[in-house]
Chains A and B, each alone.
Chain A
Amino acid sequence: MASNTSYHDNELLMRPRAVPLQRIWSFLSRQIVAYLFLLPAILIFGLVAWYPIARAFEMSFQQVSLTGESTDVGTANYDLMELDPAREIILENMLEFASWSVALGYALPVILAILIREMRHAKSFFRIVYFLPTVVPISIAVIVWRFIYDPDAGALNELLSFLGLPDQLWLYDPKLAKPSLVVVMTWASFGTTTLIYLSSLMEIPTELYEAAELDGASPLQRIRHVTLPHLFPIMSLLFVLQVISVVQVFTEPFLLTNGGPGRETLTPVLHIYRRAFERIDLGYASAWSVVLVVILLAFSLVYYLVNYRIRKIYSD
């Protein structure tokens, strides 16, 4: 393949005046097989991902009719967002959910991965145990969590009364609803994250640890100076992914709290869902979706820049 490419390149160099069409054809004929292989994936992605994204963008400038013609309304849907009384609450909830999720769930998989790696025995057993929640469908898990959080007969309140503590309204108390949901989200996803960290940890050459041990490093020092620097890039990536996924959380509040109590667990996607499918206001819902994408892109960009500077300082 490489020699072919160079042959064609040479040929092109020898005929610099080749018309653009010929150049394109020549380029395509070299790559055609590869593109044919890609075609099914491109078609499927186009149909179920890119087309809906493009359509949502278009719909955000329309008053959408499900059966007839949609009409263009310019930026009316975006202007309406200014008047939406749920807007501030949703943005606040978004930040609070992200903060709770980082506080409760960001460090946990790292710690678990390090602990599992340090184990001499039963490593694979614990790997499976921690991964198990990930394979439980979330709708089933939610039913179990509803039993756990039930204020009258739930397992958690039983435990509290056994310890002599007062019962709590886990999902119905405005102060507890968000962390309670974040616990469910963390429980459902930390297994996958732990595995990712674990596989990254496995890449660290044992010689590094041996050298550190010879230098008299304690286990904590080994983690501080060997493990964490190695994990940093993946931790950084997973931080962004976690925030992006938490901001888009839907299933847990939809099934466990319905956005309540009041609007305490109303998330952007739940709001979008309600506007789109309860009010059949697809144009307005699409405007929200586009804004959400912009917010997440902005977050990712800022984070990337900050991270880039940190790394630069670190490497200097």
Chain B
Amino acid sequence: MKRKLFILMVIALFAMQIVPSFGQEGGIPQTLVMPEQIAEGRPVTITVSDKPSPDREGELSLWQDQVNRFQEMYPNVTIEGLELEYEPTAFVALIAGDQLPTLFRSYFTEPEKFISQNAVADLTPLYEASGVADAFNPSVLEIATQDGAVYAIPENAYALGLAYNIELLAEAGYDAPPTTWDELVEIAQAVTDKDNGVAGFAFINDGSAATGWHFTNIAYSFGASPDDIITVNDDGSFTAEFGEGATVDALNFIHDLRWEYDVLPGATLDWGSITEALVSGRVAMAIYAGDQFGFMLNSFPDADISNFGYAPMPAGPNGISALTGGNLWMIDADASEDEREAAFYFQLWRQLDPAEYESAVITQSEQGRTIGQPVLPMYVGEHQEGREAFEADYNVLPVENYALFNDAVKAGDITLYPEPATAVQDYYAEVGVLVSEVLSNERTDPETRLGEVAEEFQIFVLDR
């Protein structure tokens, strides 16, 4: 299934290059036809996650205005915002306590877990009624699909790349980021200055699932495919294959980065602190998701964001490979038909209505927030073209610094891989711990330990 997904993804990206950009002239086409009435006019109340907290004033007013406009269009619908953001463990308790919000945001890795617990609604009838499925990048919509039924509304997608500090690299005599892992080692060694707390290269290394996430991208570029990590068998069962092959090579490489080349930071870095390490000049190059530049801009307003570039991941034996991921929205299985309809259209309207999209882009741009992130196209055809053309005038981020990445995506130079087939967060969590073990203990043998972890994962996760 995932091999199919990968092929679809490549096709979709190429298709976008081939589709002529005639949509740009006429702006963003209206892809979504909103219904006359929602729930046939019956009163309906839905709860929606990710309402911005009061300290994020600009975002909150944007959110509230949008809600008000929707409620004016459909006076029978009441939208209650919840300042609740997705967190895998917290949401387990919400499922058990029957307290999921009607509409909530989650990661690309998560639908399978919710579907297996019968916790989310099948949105296929709504997709069919609205006819919007064609607007989505099919490879992205595939992530929300299981056994032919669609369970989520994808919102954004990214591919991992390499963020780098232009100035630090220039000081060491390099005017371009590395294109291979060997070059990365060379530049990282030149830039590393342990006495002044500067590490040449970093990835998330706190031993959490995010560490496993970054490790998996390195494994991809060392030749592993999602199927080589967790294989989908013909009978629908799964086999953990990550105990051998390219994943072992990748872990050996990490072992060398730490114990032979010594170019990694001493401190542990998580999703947030890796940005802090970049902007404070403590890390020169880091594995980074394109949507983290928005976080960089919002969280470190004093940082000189123009000093950071974004390039494709260095090429390994498998060429340039990048792991993709993103966010999507799901609807509680306990929601009534009326609530499902209201939640579904509210989310689609926020994402696809041209007027909503344009006003959101303008407001965000005025507030200096996150337009121009190097992320993956979510839609296809005229809709995507129209969006890109519109956004170009409102870029807040230094998009010219991301040209290496964006051009490589557009030229199809990057092999985009989805995340492994099943139980992804569990797999990330396990290899995350192992990477931390390799980083802290020189005597850890990557091959033996990876084999043990794969065996445990097979027995405790895949076979259960």
* A residues with CB within 8 A of B: 63, 65-68, 80, 83-86, 150-153, 167, 169, 171-174, 257-264, 266, 273-274, 276-281, 284
Contact = CB atoms under 8 A, between A and B. Distances in A.
A113 B64 CA distance: 57
Contact of A262 (B93, B440, B455, B456): B440
15 contacts: A67-B118, A169-B266, A172-B439, A257-B207, A260-B206, A260-B433, A260-B437, A262-B440, A274-B429, A277-B92, A277-B93, A279-B423, A279-B461, A281-B460, A284-B460
B360 interface: no
Contacts of B49: none
Given A260-B436, A261-B440, A278-B88, A66 B197 contact: no
Contacts of B268: 171-172, 260
A167 B436 CA distance: 20
Contacts of A152: 197, 265-267, 282
B460 A80 contact: yes
Contacts of A83: 456, 459-460
B37 interface: no
A261 B88 contact: no
B89 interface: yes
A67 B265 CA distance: 43
B318 interface: no
A28 B434 CA distance: 60
Given A152-B282, A278-B425, A261 B266 contact: no
A274 B432 CA distance: 13
B94 to A, nearest CB: 10
Contacts of B93: 277
Interface in B64-102: 88-89, 92-93, 95-96
B89 A261 contact: no
A279 B208 CA distance: 14
Contact of A151 (B89, B95, B266, B441): B266
Contacts of B96: 66-67
A259 B433 contact: yes
A315 B452 CA distance: 54
Contacts of A68: 118
Contacts of A151: 266-267
A280 B207 contact: no
B117 interface: yes
B210 to A, nearest CB: 10
Contacts of A172: 266-268, 439-440
B266 A258 contact: no
A263 B433 contact: yes
B113 interface: yes
Contacts of A262: 207, 433-434, 436-438, 440-441, 444
Interface in B183-210: 197, 206-209
B95 A66 contact: yes
B351 to A, nearest CB: 28
B229 to A, nearest CB: 17
Interface residues of B, number: 41
Contacts of B423: 279
Contacts of B4: none
B269 to A, nearest CB: 11
Nearest to B423: A279
Contacts of B464: 63, 281
A153 B196 CA distance: 11
Which of A68, A169, A258 has the most C-beta atoms of chain B within 10 angstroms of its own C-beta?
Answer: A258
A237 B43 CA distance: 61
Contacts of B444: 262
Contacts of B265: 152
B337 interface: no
Contacts of A150: 267
A212 B450 CA distance: 65
A259 B207 contact: yes
A274 B441 CA distance: 23
B323 interface: no
A280 B460 CA distance: 11
B440 A67 contact: no
B119 interface: yes
**Which 10 A-B pairs give the minimum distances between C-beta atoms?**
A262-B437, A261-B440, A260-B207, A277-B89, A151-B266, A260-B436, A66-B96, A152-B197, A66-B95, A85-B456
A52 to B, nearest CB: 13
A68 B95 CA distance: 11
A85 B450 CA distance: 12
A218 B206 CA distance: 53
B426 interface: yes
Which of B95, B113, B209, B440 has the most C-beta atoms of chain A within 10 angstroms of its own C-beta?
Answer: B440
Given A152-B266, A261-B440, 20 more contacts: A66-B95, A66-B96, A66-B119, A80-B460, A85-B455, A152-B282, A167-B266, A258-B207, A260-B433, A260-B436, A261-B207, A261-B436, A261-B441, A262-B433, A262-B437, A262-B440, A264-B440, A277-B93, A280-B113, A281-B464
Interface string B261-280: 00001111000000000000
A280 B92 contact: yes
B104 to A, nearest CB: 16
Interface in B385-432: 423, 425-426, 429
Given A83-B456, A152-B267, A278 B429 contact: yes
Which of B113, B268, B461 has the most C-beta atoms of chain A within 10 angstroms of its own C-beta?
Answer: B268
A150 B444 CA distance: 24
Contacts of A174: 440-441
B118 A263 contact: no
Contacts of B456: 83-86
Nearest to A150: B267
B112 to A, nearest CB: 12
A276 B93 CA distance: 10
B352 to A, nearest CB: 31
A84 B430 CA distance: 13
Contacts of A277: 88-89, 92-93
A65 B118 CA distance: 10
B386 to A, nearest CB: 41
Nearest to A171: B268
Contacts of B452: 85
A263 B197 CA distance: 26
Contacts of B207: 257-262
B299 to A, nearest CB: 17
Contacts of B459: 80, 83
Contacts of A84: 456, 460
Contacts of A80: 459-460
A83 to B, nearest CB: 6
Contacts of A169: 266
Contacts of B439: 172, 261
A260 B204 CA distance: 14
A258 B197 contact: no
B440 A260 contact: yes
